[in-house]
Every structure is written in C-alpha cells, then in structure tokens.
Structure 1
Amino acid sequence: MKKALIHIVGGGLAGCEAAWQCLRAGHEVRLYEMRPHKMTPAHSTGDLAELVCSNSLKSMLPDSAPGLLKGEMQALDSLILEAGAHAAVPAGQALAVERTVFSRYIREALESFPGFKRIDAEVTELPPVGEGEAWIIASGPLTSQALVDQLQGLCPDSRRLHFYDAIAPILETESIDESIVFRASRYDDSGDGDYWNIPLNKEEYEAFVDAVIAAEKMPLHEFEDVAYFESCLPIEVMIERGRETLRFGPMKPVGLIDPRTGHRPWAAVQLRMENKEGTMVSMVGFQTKMKWPEQKRVFSMLPGLKDVEFFRYGSVHRNSYLKSPDVLNPDLSFKTAPRIFLAGQITGVEGYTESAAIGLLAGRAARAKVQDADFLMPPAGTIIGALYRYVTEGGLGDFQPMNANLGLLPGLPKQRGMGKPQRKALQCAKSREVFAAYLAQLSGSSQNYQQGEQGNAQAGL
C-alpha cells in the first residue's frame, strides 16, 4: 500500500473520525486545531471532539434513524461510536456520554498511532495539494472567517449559508430539590429512571411561559438573517409559535407520573445526566437565548430549582455551512480542488453522529484517492448513504441542515392494513438489508455487519 500524508482541519467529531479512518489505513495524519489559542463562541476548551451542545448522541432504538446510523457506523469501525460506548451514562433509550471521558478516549485513540500529529494552529490558507497528499476540511459550523474566505474561493458560484443554533444549560444536581423533582423515564415504572423530572401544574406552567416572554434576550446583529434549525429551537422561539408549544415539545408530560400526586403533571421539564457520577444534569430541549442573569432568575422559578446552581448557561450562536450539492464531487471533494475534501456539519448535516458519519466517509474517500483507488459510497437505501446523497445532491426546495431521518430513505409501497409502526419497522429492516449488501460489496462478506450488530448489543447501542 502507498503511504500518504493527509491533512485534516478541525478537531471536532468529523475531523477525529476522518483521522481515525485514515490512520487505520496506514497513512500519516496532521490534524490542525486552532483551539485553545483561538476559541469559538461555543467551545470552552481545546479538547478534541468537545461536545458543545447536548451530551446526547440520540436514540439507540434499532427501528429509528439515529439507531440505524449508529449500527452502520459501528460496522464501519467508527471511533466516535467506540468512544460513545466507553463514555456512556444512563439516558434511557438514548446514547448520552460523559463529555471529558468521551473526549479523552478519542484523543488517546488517535495518539496511539505514531503517524498522528496534532498541530495547534489556525489554518488561514489552503496550499496547493500534491499527488501524495490530501486535505479534509472538517472545521465545523464555527469555522474562522479566514478559512471561510478560503473555502469561498473554492466555490465561487455558490453562496455560503448559515443558521442559528442554541445550547441548553447544565445544572448542579446537588442544588436541585429532590423532594419535588423525581426520577423516572417515560412509561418506565421499574424503579428509578434515568431522568430527573420537574413537574409543573397549569398555573406554574403559565407563569413560566410569561417569565420567558418578558425576559431580556441576547441581541443579534440587525443585518443578520435569523434562521434557526428546526430541531434545536430556543424555547423563546417555540413560545412565539403558541403558548402550548412547550407542552407538546420539551415539556411534554406524557408517560410521567408525579409521585407526590399520583397523577400526570400539566407539564414537565426533563434533566439528563451529564456524567456517570450524576453530579451534573442538562435541561433537555431547553436551548435559550435569554441573557445569563435572566436564565438564573427564570429557571429558578421552576419547582425544585429555587436554589439551583449553573455549571453552564445556555447560549445562541451562528453556524455556517456550504451549499454542498453545488460545490462537491460525488466523493465529497471540491469540484475545483479534487484533493480537498469537505466533512462534518459544514457540509449541511446537523447532529453529532451525522457530522461524524460524513467525516467517516470523507476519511475513507480521501484515503482511497491517495492510493489511486476508488471508494464505493453507501447506497441511498442506508441512512449513512441517504445523508451522503443529501449532501452531494440536495433535495427538494432550499438546501438546509438535515438530521438523519427515515424520510431520507426510499419510500415503501403502501399496503392495506399496515399501520405506521409496521411500515417504520419494515423500512428499517429493508435498510439493514441494503447495508448488509453494501458491506458484502466492500469486503466480500456481510460478516463485519453481523459482528457490528453483535457489538452494538454488547455495548448497549
């Protein structure tokens, strides 16, 4: 095998996953990360694969898009999924991780390869790329302006896009009143659940909504076109869509019984563990653009949070992404620079595992190119292949950030008498068959996928 040097810009999930794929193929990797010397509006450390928003990598259920994606990535030797299993904390049917353990595992895994080197520097210019090299840009949605200008030069006929993203607060568990806040997972009556639940009656809910409406918000620049990602809306934006929106969203009380009353509360806030010790919890779905003193005042109104202490307040930041279908080749390289690849959230996917998945594919595509070989991209009937096709081909309407979802998969013929759950299960089963066939094409056998499925079960994925 021809050994090559692959440069990767960005030490987030996509960049680390791409580096792992290249290192495992025997290539050398230079990973450039500007943090901690130059920070972003959302990051707080210089750690590799720092999780800046939620600590959840979403559902592990096999008949769900996030679950399917995890199974596919596991079978393709994903470092992110390996680290997720190692750093997992209880979170019901979701894969949530302890942030520092997750990051440390990824750093140590990459550093175990002698061909890996991290370079703490901001990349402000992309040099000409020789035959024995490749570059992967995985700089994320908070890419520095200097690098954005360089990327814009690679796609002169396409405009850069952006949207606003938000993160939720993290609380100190010991400061929560456990005589009010109760442990339970939805529909689970087998004992202590994985979530803390804050019950609200109708009057408490209405007072909370009024307080959020009246609170001071962080101002955005007047010239900025505010476009939020639909799956990560600030609670203020949800309330603008109707006073009951929170009750049918992050404050949905369905499946929860308040042990103090024996009844379902009018609304409920769920708190998810941030570490294995349970000393930190995050407010599920409570992204906010309130000013920090207002967050302290308003959230302390919630039952059981009168004396709550914050480890991190919520915030809103602008994310950038490229109009990838216009500028990328089918192998995720730029049409104007076929040895420079794009990976991660800047391609127009949204979510931790989605970003890592595109990093995985970009890493495999780059290592194939430096070996003068072809890499077979996964078909559209798989979740990872559907995401890839969205990035390179787009969809109907305007190009916007996309999560993994079953709507990206090819539809099934309607069958009389088949309900939505049955159709969903059948669609997922078909997707697994397509992925198994894809793996057989890659390796001549579907054994790797079967082992990946077994590994998922053993790791609880």
Structure 2
Amino acid sequence: MSDKIHIVGGGMAGSEAAWQAAQMGVPVVLHEMRPKVETFAHRTGNLAEMVCSNSFRSDDDTSNAVGLLHWEMRQAGGLIMATADRHALPAGGALAVDRDPFAEAVTQSISQHPLISVSHEEITELPTEGQWIVATGPLTSATLAQAIQRVTGQDALAFFDAIAPIVYADSIDMEKAWFQSRYDKGETEEERTAYLNCPMDRPTYEAFIDALLAADKTEFKPGETAGYFDGCLPIEVMAERGRDTLRFGPMKPVGLTNPHAPQDKPYAVVQLRRDNALGTLFNIVGFQTKMKYGAQTEVLRMIPGLEGASFARLGGIHRNTFMNSPRLLDDQMRLKARPNIRLAGQITGVEGYVESASMGLLAGRLAAAEVLGHKAGPPPGETAMGALIHHITGGAEARSFQPMNVNFGLFPPIDAKGGRRNRRDRYTAYTERAKASWLDWLRHFDGLAMAGGAEDQAVPVPGQ
C-alpha cells in the first residue's frame, strides 16, 4: 500500500493514532520533534511521556465515565491502555502507572511495529497533500501553532496548565504520615495502602493557607491572561477562591484515620500517590502549583511529614494550547479549512491522558478508513468516545468552548423509568448502553481492517 498517514506529535494521542492506523494495515510516519527540540515539561525523548501526573483516574467501568473510556480503549486493542495495564501501580480504584517504564514500553512498541517509522524532525507547516493527523498536545510548538492559525483563520485558544511536585519517599517522616487509601478502597492490601497521608490540624492548615497566598508566584508575560482548566487548578488559585476550598477539595480529610493519633480527626489531609513501581517517588495529589521554586520548598515543607522533604521535581506552569474545535472541525475530526488534516488529543479540547489517547484512537481509525477507501462515521454519542467527539465537533457552544474531561453529562439522557432513578443506577445504565453500542461500532471497523489487509499486518497488542 503506497498511501501513508503522517502523524505530528508522539504523545498519548499521536502514539495511539499511529498504532491504530498501522493495525488496520496502513503505513504511518510518526513525527516527534523531541529530543532534538525540547519542551518546558518533558524530560526525555520517549513517546507518551507523562508530564503532569501518573494517574489515568478511575478504572471502574460499571458506573464511571472515565472507567468506561478505559474499557472502550481496551476493547479496541488500544496500545496506551495495554501498556498502562502492564505498568500499573497500586492506586485504590484508580489506574496509576510507573511513568518511565510506561513511556519506554510505548516507545519500544511503536518503533518495532513493521508499518510505523519515526522521524525526529520538527514539522512547522500544515501540508496541503496527504493524510495528516496533528496530535501535538498542549505544548504545540510556536511555529506550528502559527501555521494552524494561518490555515484556520482563528486564533488558537490557550489556558495555563500546572504540574504537581514529586517527593522522594525516603525523605517523608513516617512518624507523622501513614499509608491508607480513602475509605480503604481497593481489593488488596497493596491497593488499600496506595496513598501516603499527611494530616493537618486547624492552626497548621490556617498557617499553610497564609503562606500559600503570600508565596511568590510565576508572573505571566505581558498580554497573557490566565484561563485555567477547573480540573487542574493550581493550589494557590483554589486557595484564593476561599480559605476552605482546599479542605473540601484535594485536602479533604474524609475516609481517613490517622493510626498515630486515631482519636484525633484531622482538619485537612495532604495525600501523596506512588509515582513509580519501586515506591521511591510520590506525587503530591492535586498540588499543581505556579509558586516559584524557592517558595515551593518553603511552603510544602510546612506540611506535617514533609518538613525534611527532598523533591525529585518541583511544580511548574506552562501554556496549554487548544483549538476551538466546534468551529474548526467536522465530525471526522478534520479541519474544515484543510480536510486532509485531522486533529487529535488535547489540542482538540479534551482534557486528560485517557481522553487525549482516545481521540488519537479515533483519529487513527478514521484516517486509516479513509486511506482504505471506506466511509466511516464516528462512534455513536451514547459511547464514551462518541460523547467526547460529538461534544468537541459540534455539541459544545463555540463561543464559550473550554477543555472537557469525559463525564456522563455529555451522554444522551437515558430513560429514568424502571427503577433507574438514583444516580448510580443511571450511570450503570449509561455504561451498559455504551458497551453494547461500542462493540457494534468496533465490528464495523473489523470489517474495514480485513478489507484493507490488516489481518496480514497487525501485530499483537503488548501484554496480550
């Protein structure tokens, strides 16, 4: 087959798009500018490098929208989910991964696929010919962003994303901290102790908030305004919204008992989640921050148990670019102004690792179907991926479009009759309906793949 798909960006979305298209028998060139051209947030040249967190969030596929998205991707032979499962860490009911081995494994799978070649040259223009997928994510290079603006006639929107600090485990004072998942969630002892907890009494919490509000922060450049995604707010921005905001958010004390002082109810609790399989690194959950480095170490060491903390990585803030997809994309994820180009991942206005990878999965499949000469529609709106793609390609209001995680509010309403009036029953009904619809849609693509000779080209999904 002479037709190729070119994919720009080797993050979650680009890697998944490349894998899906190649599994359908279509050759792929994956263009990833790293390590030749570095970014603020990445540390390596590996594909699918995790930057902000190591969590894929809830893995419950019976009544949770992101867990349902996990299930759909697994059913579609997704590389990202298969690799995540192989490198999973204990995280209660969530799916967290050992980030460096995860990225190394994705890189190996992509580089060894017979239909995928990887180029490390930067793409600075949008080609007028051939099938292309732009999956450059929140750190799209300035030159490529300018090229997109020239083609679309619209300014790319932007908000600011913050990164949480990572602490060395051996620097945490275990006479003050303890292992416990909230409400002891998890089936095994390892899962029930997946988090480290640092308790605060009221005076300590109040002093922490005072220091947080007074700390030196990163200043924005002239003309830049800070529009944050609500699901990834810096802790100081949350504190500015009210002194108790953190205590009812990432620092909520519910579902936890301090074994060092079981009779004392903490006023607030800071949780840390294991960040690697060795258990040597812990990510401070929900503590994205724009504090300057010196201020960070001072403020974070006010947390009981972290007085002597050593940091493997301090937090930071970076510009996060995304497009006004309801105005710019058709239902095939193609640019209306340049139909040979699809967008995928966070640049489309989805938020989160899993959501980004899922849009890569769809873009790769839709592009491959087009190369194979087949007309393939997007998945139905009652599926998790269908709900996302329908939202970003027309379901959302273009004038107020902002990044969105998958959630059941994006799904077509389900009949509440027949005893399904409470929320959990409704969510269970959403997942049951979605699974049946997703399997029907996948069967259609199986037929396309066989028509394109994919049965001769596909390789086993890693770990299966």
Question: Root-mean-square deviation (CA), in Å?
Answer: 2.1
Name the CA distance, whole Å, in 1 between partners of 2:381 and 2:21.
24
| 1:143 aligns to 2:140 (yes or no) | yes
CA contact (8 A) 2:384 2:411 kept: yes
Name the CA distance, whole Å, in 2 between partners of 1:24 and 1:89.
28
1:308 paired residue number: 309
2:410 paired residue number: 408
Q: State the Cα distance separating 1:331 from its structure 2 match.
A: 1.0
SS state at 1:248 partner: coil
CA contact (8 A) 1:171 1:311 kept: yes
SS state at 2:133 partner: strand
In the superposition, the TM-score normalised over structure 2's length comes to 0.92
2:454 paired residue number: none
Q: State the Cα distance separating 1:109 from its structure 2 match.
A: 0.8
2:200 paired residue number: 200
Name the CA distance, whole Å, in 2 between partners of 1:110 and 1:206.
49
CA contact (8 A) 2:322 2:349 kept: yes
Q: State the Cα distance separating 1:314 from its structure 2 match.
A: 0.5
CA contact (8 A) 1:376 1:442 kept: no
Q: State the Cα distance separating 1:419 from its structure 2 match.
A: 2.2
Residue type at the aligned position of 1:112: Q
Name the CA distance, whole Å, in 1 between partners of 2:431 and 2:224.
40
After superposition, the Cα gap between the structure-2 partners of 1:195 and 1:372, relative to the gap in structure 1 and judged at 3 Å, is same
Q: State the Cα distance separating 1:443 from its structure 2 match.
A: 4.3
Q: State the Cα distance separating 1:32 from its structure 2 match.
A: 1.2
Runs of 5+ unmatched residues, structure 2: 448-462
1:448 paired residue number: none
1:451 paired residue number: none
Name the CA distance, whole Å, in 2 between partners of 1:345 and 1:336.
20
Residue type at the aligned position of 1:325: P
Q: State the Cα distance separating 1:159 from its structure 2 match.
A: 2.7
Name the CA distance, whole Å, in 1 between partners of 2:342 and 2:120.
21
Q: How many residues align?
A: 444
Runs of 5+ unmatched residues, structure 1: 445-457
Name the CA distance, whole Å, in 2 between partners of 1:430 and 1:208.
46
SS state at 1:110 partner: helix
SS state at 2:167 partner: strand
| 1:340 aligns to 2:341 (yes or no) | yes
2:431 paired residue number: 428
1:439 paired residue number: 442
Q: Output aligned runs, 1:98-113, within 5 Å.
A: 98-113=98-113
1:5 paired residue number: 4
CA contact (8 A) 2:382 2:430 kept: no
Q: Deviation string for 1:115-149 (max 9, x for gaps)?
A: 322111111123331xxx41111111111111112
Name the CA distance, whole Å, in 2 between partners of 1:99 and 1:414.
41
1:398 paired residue number: 400
Q: Deviation string for 1:363-391 (max 9, x for gaps)?
A: 11111111211223110001110001112
After superposition, the Cα gap between the structure-2 partners of 1:394 and 1:152, relative to the gap in structure 1 and judged at 3 Å, is farther
Residue type at the aligned position of 1:324: S
Name the CA distance, whole Å, in 1 between partners of 2:53 and 2:70.
17
Tell me which moved more, 36-45 or 55-64.
Answer: 36-45
Q: State the Cα distance separating 1:36 from its structure 2 match.
A: 1.8
Q: Deviation string for 1:157-184 (max 9, x for gaps)?
A: x331111111100000000011111000
Q: State the Cα distance separating 1:273 from its structure 2 match.
A: 0.6
In the superposition, the TM-score normalised over structure 1's length comes to 0.92
Residue type at the aligned position of 1:185: S
Q: Deviation string for 1:180-222 (max 9, x for gaps)?
A: 1100011118756110000111111111111101111111123
CA contact (8 A) 2:88 2:95 kept: yes
CA contact (8 A) 2:323 2:348 kept: yes
SS state at 2:433 partner: helix
After superposition, the Cα gap between the structure-2 partners of 1:442 and 1:18, relative to the gap in structure 1 and judged at 3 Å, is closer
1:134 paired residue number: 131
Q: Deviation string for 1:319-373 (max 9, x for gaps)?
A: 1111112121221111222221111100111100100111111111111111211
After superposition, the Cα gap between the structure-2 partners of 1:439 and 1:38, relative to the gap in structure 1 and judged at 3 Å, is closer
Name the CA distance, whole Å, in 1 between partners of 2:72 and 2:232.
25
SS state at 2:270 partner: strand
CA contact (8 A) 1:254 1:264 kept: no
SS state at 1:187 partner: helix
SS state at 1:31 partner: strand
Name the CA distance, whole Å, in 2 between partners of 1:420 and 1:74.
26
CA contact (8 A) 2:420 2:426 kept: no
After superposition, the Cα gap between the structure-2 partners of 1:135 and 1:439, relative to the gap in structure 1 and judged at 3 Å, is closer
SS state at 2:238 partner: helix
Name the CA distance, whole Å, in 2 between partners of 1:125 and 1:336.
14
Q: State the Cα distance separating 1:304 from its structure 2 match.
A: 0.8
1:226 paired residue number: 226
CA contact (8 A) 2:383 2:434 kept: yes
CA contact (8 A) 2:208 2:302 kept: yes
After superposition, the Cα gap between the structure-2 partners of 1:306 and 1:149, relative to the gap in structure 1 and judged at 3 Å, is same
Q: Output aligned runs, 1:29-428, within 5 Å.
A: 29-62=28-61, 63-129=63-129, 133-156=130-153, 158-188=154-184, 193-262=193-262, 263-396=264-397, 398-415=400-417, 418-428=421-431
Name the CA distance, whole Å, in 2 between partners of 1:220 and 1:90.
37
State the identity %: 46
Name the CA distance, whole Å, in 1 between partners of 2:202 and 2:326.
47
Q: State the Cα distance separating 1:88 from its structure 2 match.
A: 0.7
Q: State the Cα distance separating 1:34 from its structure 2 match.
A: 1.4
